Amino acid sequence: MNRREFSKCVLAAGAGLGVNVTSAGETSGDYYHEPGKKLPIRKFDVVVAGAGTAGVVTALAAARQGARTALIEVKGYPGGTVTEGGTALHSFYNLWKAFDVERRQVVRGIPQEIIDRLMKVGACSGHAEMSKGYNYDSVCTCIDTELYKLVTFEMLVEAGVHVFVNTMLVGAVMDGARIRGAVVESRSGREAFYGKCFVDCTAYGDLAAYAGASFTEPNDYPVVNSIGVANVSVEKLYDYLNRHDAVTQLARGMRSGQDNQIVRIQGSLANVSRDFHEEARKIGMSMVTTTVHDNYWMFIKLNFKMPVSPTNRDAVTRAELELRQRQYRAVELFRKYVPGCEKAFMARTSPKLCIRRGRLIQCDYDITHEDVIEGRHFDDEVMVYGFHDSAPHLQVKDGGTYGFPYKAQRVAGIENLLAAGMLITSDHRAHMSTRNTVCCMGQGQGAGTAAALCAAKKCGTRDLRYGELRDALNKGGVYFEA
């Protein structure tokens, strides 16, 4: 059966045409009392939950400080949303175009090391300068999502991290306000990973929630999925959008071994075709692509607003089907409207829907919009950052940086738990900066380094001397200029 016949067949059978998940109904009201179990204990210095954007860097930083480090990941690979959401990293550089300030790289250290390793295997565009769109930002660093998983996996193993993939964090063993262990579940059974210090990098704050920390669930973003589309022509897409004066973002960098190629493109479908725009609107689709290979691109944004928080399993099940139906329709739209995409097909999907905010965990300090925009600095910084997702409308004052304080990573009420990634910062506008991939990675280096020092000193996260943390971060190549 060829592709066209298959399409007709599945359309007739209902694919993408409103097949719905049957409600599982209410629970019965009865309870099963699970018998207590004896769990085998493994002992570590630092336990990191979640091997995503922040978690990979956290575990690398902790292991490089000499900590015996465990990394728990429910999927079969590290990478997280950086390989499943936007698939590009904004932004290693500070803002500079708006203010004529000197161009400089404000996130360095381990995040840059990952880029260096990706470049060696042709899995990264390099820091490709935006020539259109995000006018006051600087670069977009596009990645090969599959090689990102492999490269980071190898780096973790090389650093001596004990990587546990296909392993889900399912609970916490508490001793008052201290976590003694993370309870994990895999096909090898249920175990307790004891540790001296813990870092929650699960994006949803699972470990913090199990430990009894306070959190909110704002449900203020749509859920999204991204797809890898193959058999496409990036040049033809550009020509098509350009002909309609519809190119809104453009960056050129390394693609399939050649420099100065289009690696990120965004178009306004409203300019292109009313029908295309109308059909795309129905499935929450906007035309944003990143690529590091000819004939392939990633990331069509397919937004779907869930009525309840994405921690609700049954609502997520419905959303997962909805997003897959939208993915199918999105590729059909490409095939129908975009020259060079006549034989496009869906080559890859995210294993699960992506979110921008799930649970937000309460920490000792909550970074505010003013902290970001005013470029405020703190006396306990673990990194500095300068990018805002809403550039050019919102940007850090004078093209400078703001500081990321250590206290913003200490989970309130828990003695030995830090957090890194999109699970912190409750202010919606501040979060549009702190959740960015490169900020999450930088936070990881801060949290992992601090956790290892706390474990070595056998102290709580609030008892760590900042001078020691700063020295270790300086040695790790972290940049601190305002």
Q: Give the residues lining the site for ligand FAD (CB under 6 A).
A: 49-55, 72-75, 80-82, 85-86, 88-90, 168-169, 201-204, 206, 224, 226, 354-356, 421-423, 435-437, 440
Of 204 and 297, which has the nearer Cβ to ligand FAD? 204
In angstroms, what is the minimal distance from the CB of 108 to ligand FAD?
16
In angstroms, what is the minimal distance from the CB of 290 to ligand FAD?
8
Of 192 and 203, which has the nearer Cβ to ligand FAD? 203
In angstroms, what is the minimal distance from the CB of 327 to ligand FAD?
13
Identity of the residue numbered 226: S
In angstroms, what is the minimal distance from the CB of 221 to ligand FAD?
8
Of 42 and 90, which has the nearer Cβ to ligand FAD? 90
Of 54 and 469, which has the nearer Cβ to ligand FAD? 54
In angstroms, what is the minimal distance from the CB of 154 to ligand FAD?
17
Of 184 and 333, which has the nearer Cβ to ligand FAD? 184
What stretches of 230-360 show up as alpha helix (H) in DSSP?
234-243, 269-272, 274-282, 313-337
Beta-carbon contacts of 20 under 8 Å, excluding residues fewer than 6 positions away, are: 318, 321
Of 51 and 283, which has the nearer Cβ to ligand FAD? 51
Q: Give the separation between CA 409 and CA 294, rounded to whole angstroms.
A: 40
Contacts for 241-244 with beta carbons within 8 Å, 24 or more apart?
A: 241/265, 241/267, 241/271, 241/272, 241/287, 244/271, 244/272, 244/273
**Cα dihedral 328, 334, 337, 339 in deg (nearest 10):** -150
In angstroms, what is the minimal distance from the CB of 57 to ligand FAD?
9
Instruction: Please state the separation of Cα 121 from the chain's center in Å.
Output: 22
Position closest to ligand FAD via CB: 52
CB-neighbour burial class of residue 172 (10 A; exposed 0-12, middle 13-18, buried 19+): buried
What stretches of 47-108 show up as alpha helix (H) in DSSP?
53-64
Of 155 and 470, which has the nearer Cβ to ligand FAD? 155
If DSSP states are collapsed to H, E and C, what string results for 97-126?
A: CCCCCCCCECCCHHHHHHHHHHHHCCCECC
Question: What does the DSSP 8-state code read for residue 393?
Answer: T
In angstroms, what is the minimal distance from the CB of 356 to ligand FAD?
5
